[in-house]
Amino acid sequence: MTVTALLFASYAEALGSDRLELTLAGNTTVRDVVDRLRAMPGGSSLPAAPLVAVNQTYANADQRVVSGDEVAIIPPVAGG
């Protein structure tokens, strides 16, 4: 299965990309997606447990992801 990982701000700079297509095994959770990103070059700057949104809704680390999901890794927000 394939999910789209979105990266923003400092996280996008660290990984050198703001959008990555990841191929993962089935039975995958948010935590697995984060672990995959952290294993990539520059990925060590991501915290082990960042804030994540799946399909634009904040999600827990153990939430299941399915093929086609958009998994966004959210740096500390600073709106306002």
CA angle 19, 13, 31 (to 5 degrees): 55
Whole-number Cα distances in Å, 30 to 78, 79, 80: 23, 24, 28
Q: Report how many residues bind another protein under the rule CB under 8 A.
A: 23
Contact set for another protein, span 14-73 (CB under 8 A) = 47, 49-53, 56, 58-61, 72
Q: Which residue from 1, 9, 22, 40 is in contact with another protein, where contact means CB under 8 A? A: 9
Report which secondary-structure segment, H or E, holds 10: helix 9-15
Task: Please report, as ranges, the residues that interact with another protein according to CB under 8 A.
Answer: 6, 8-10, 47, 49-53, 56, 58-61, 72, 74-80
